[in-house]
Every structure is written in C-alpha cells, then in structure tokens.
Amino acid sequence: MATAAPPSTSASPPEIRLVTGQGRTRVVASGVWLVHSMGVLGVLDRLARDLPAMARNPGAVDWDLSGVTKLDHFGAQYFWKLWGKCRPEHLVLGPHHDEFFDRLYHFGDVRLPDPERLRFAWVYALGQGMINFGIHGVAFLRMVGQLVIDLGRLVRNPAKGPWLEVSANIFHGGAQAMGITALVGFLIGIVLSYLSAQQLRMFGADIYIVNILGMSIIRELGPVLAAILVAGRSGSSITAQLGVMRVTEELDAMLVMGIPHGFRLILPRVLALGIVMPLLVLWTSAMALLGGMVAANISLGMSFGFFIEQMPGAVSLPNLWLGVGKGVAFGMLIALTACHFGLRIEPNTRSLGQGTTASVVTAITMVILADAVFAILFKNVGV
C-alpha cells in the first residue's frame, strides 16, 4: 500500500519582495510560512539578506501578507519581531491570519510576577534551618530508640534474627571495600612518610618517623580515613537502597505484611557496619603503615625489619584499641545516618538524589565531629 509523501517545502518557500512606487515602499510576502518551511537550513538567513534595513521600520513601509498561503505561530512570530512587537499602520493580511497576530498582541508580553522579596530573609532561613534540624534530630533519636528495642528482641531470641541480611551487608560493606581502602591507605601512608622524612632529615631525627606514622595512622588517620570511604561508598548505597524501596512502595508492602522496618532493614545494616568497620580500620591502618615503610625505606634508607621492630615501642596498645573502638562507633553512626535519610526519601527521583547526597555529607560530618569528641575524651589515653 502506497503512503503519502510528506509535504514539500521547496514548492512554495517563504519569499519577501520589495515593491517601490508612488513614494512608498511595499513589502510583499508570499509562500508557505510554516515552521517546517522556515526551518530549512539557510532560509531565515536568506530572508534577512533579502530584507533591507529600510523595510525593518514598520512605519516607513506597507506590508502585504495576502500572498501568504499558509501561516503558523512560528511564521507570525517572525513578522511580529520584524515589526518591533506592534502592528504596522498599513498592513494587509490573508484570511484567518489575523488571529495569530491578535494572540501575539494580547499574550506576547505577558510576564511572570516578580517574586516577593522578604525583609530579613536570613532570619527566615535561619529559623527554617533550626526547625529542620530539630525535625531530623527527633526522628534520629526515635530511630536510635527503636534500634535499642530491636537489639533487646534479638538478644532474647537470637535464632530469629536477620542473620542473612547481616552477612550480606558485611560482604557488601566490608569485603568489597577492602580494595579501595587498601589503595587509598597505601597512598596516604606514602605521602605522609615522604613529608615527614623531609622535615626529620633537617634535624637528624630520622628514627622518629616510626612514632609519627604509628601514632597518626593507628590512632587518628586510619579510623577517619576508613570511615570517610565507607560513608561515601556503603552509606550512599544504604540510602539509595532504602530510597528505591520507598519509590517502588516496597516499604509500604512490608508494613502491610507486618514486617517491621527497624528489625529487618535498620538493625542488620547497623550490626554489619559495627562489625566490619573495626576490621576495615585495622586493614586500612596496616596498608597505610606499609606505604609509610616503603617511603621511609626509599627516602631514609630505613629497613622494613627496623620499622616493624620499633613500632610496638612507638605506639602503645591502648592507641590500637582506641582506633578499633572508633571504628565500631563510626560504623554504627554511618549506618544510622544512612538509614535515617533513606527512610525519609519521598517517592520521586529528585528526592532520591538529594537524600543520598545529604546522607553522605551528614555522615562524613558526623564522623569528624565524633572523632573530635573521642580526641577530647581520650586525650590522656596511650600518651
């Protein structure tokens, strides 16, 4: 069966002619002034060349559009801009063309109202921020209370605990994160060792590089570095998972079936990161120390055996336990923050992106604040 061919735009393309006589200049337009006709490459440029500057003054010329066979809003808009957005005094239009220009006259200059400017807008913003902070704080405390109740339920009946979910989160949040934490830790160790070696060489105190690397990595840098990486990797993943469950209404289906969110979604993730974070802290610290040893051997000529031999005397055991304890606290804090923002996501994709971003930023901020609290509370430990 034959199909109709598309309308040809070359049969009657848009044309403009200048006709002079009796002391007046008349602009005569003809052809098809439709969007698919004027959209042909070069048509608008050719029309602009064919129309001299004197014809652009609507009061100095007469306009005859009676020869225009077809006209749409795009073509009418072209003439309307030539006329300076007002109808010329001498104008001849074809049938049914007047309605296009009437619509442009009534609605062409419609502007949106200017937004109302509030006085003392910073006061409103500060108040709204405090309200949002209070709302998030109350919801976070409520979630922590529910977590304590779920932990009591798990202790009373451990056989019915969500152990499959816990093991799955340990694998995804711990085992799969070993590569990136090892790489970043190794590189940070190299950088820190090189910078320290340059300063220590000036004072002939090369041996103290073991003390600097050991204390800074095991006590502070290792836990914080691992927590930031886990917050950006696993924290965002947890928030996105819960957010997608909100978008696909899986969370509502769980409530309908009587499955509590806290026991099946929050508790496994908090337990998993609480278990895996201390191990990642030890792993990251070991890789950072390895990088420091390599850099110390290259820059200072310090052997690996001497470095390992001096490490126990430079860093006491309480510092190691402090770093491990930080890992437990940081892991549970990251999981709680990620779950909090994940459960507050609205069922739309924009909220999913905003919630994930807010979760990562808040988790990293909470980790740094918690590390500052640890530094103040345990300032005399391991010194």
Distance CA 338, CA 266 (A): 9
61-71/24-33 β-pairing:
parallel
Q: What angle do CA 375, 381, 382 make, to 5 degrees?
A: 115
pLDDT recorded at residue 60: 64
> DSSP of 193-246, one letter per residue?
HHHHHHHHHHHT-GGGHHHHHHHIIIIIIHHHHHHHHHIIIIIHHHHHHHHHHH
Residues for the chain: how many in total?
383
24-33/15-21 β-pairing:
antiparallel
Contact 308, 209 (CB under 8 A): no
Read off the pLDDT of residues 57-94 as tens digits, 9 standing for 90 and up.
Answer: 555 677 788 888 888 877 787 777 777 777 777 788 87
pLDDT in tens, the chain (383 residues): 334 344 444 457 777 777 776 667 777 888 887 877 776 545 556 656 656 554 555 556 777 888 888 888 777 877 777 777 777 777 888 777 877 777 777 776 556 666 677 777 788 888 988 999 899 999 999 999 999 999 999 999 988 888 999 999 999 988 999 999 999 999 999 999 988 888 888 777 778 888 888 888 998 899 999 999 999 999 999 999 999 998 888 888 988 888 888 899 999 999 999 999 999 999 999 999 999 999 988 888 888 888 888 888 888 888 899 999 999 999 999 999 999 999 999 888 888 889 999 999 999 999 999 999 999 998 887 66
Q: What angle do CA 180, 357, 123 make, to 5 degrees?
A: 140
Q: What angle do CA 299, 301, 306 make, to 5 degrees?
A: 125
Instruction: Count CB-CB contacts under 10 A for residue 281.
Output: 29
- pTM of the predicted model as reported, rounded to 2 decimal places: 0.69
In the chain the beta strands, taken as DSSP E runs, fall at 15-21, 24-33, 61-71, 91-93
Instruction: Count CB-CB contacts under 10 A for residue 50.
Output: 12
Rg (CA), the chain: 36
First to last CA, the chain: 91
Read off the pLDDT of residues 112-144 as tens digits, 9 standing for 90 and up.
Answer: 666 677 777 788 888 988 999 899 999 999 999
Query: Shortest CA distance to 176 belongs to which of 291, 276, 275?
Result: 276
Contact 264, 254 (CB under 8 A): yes
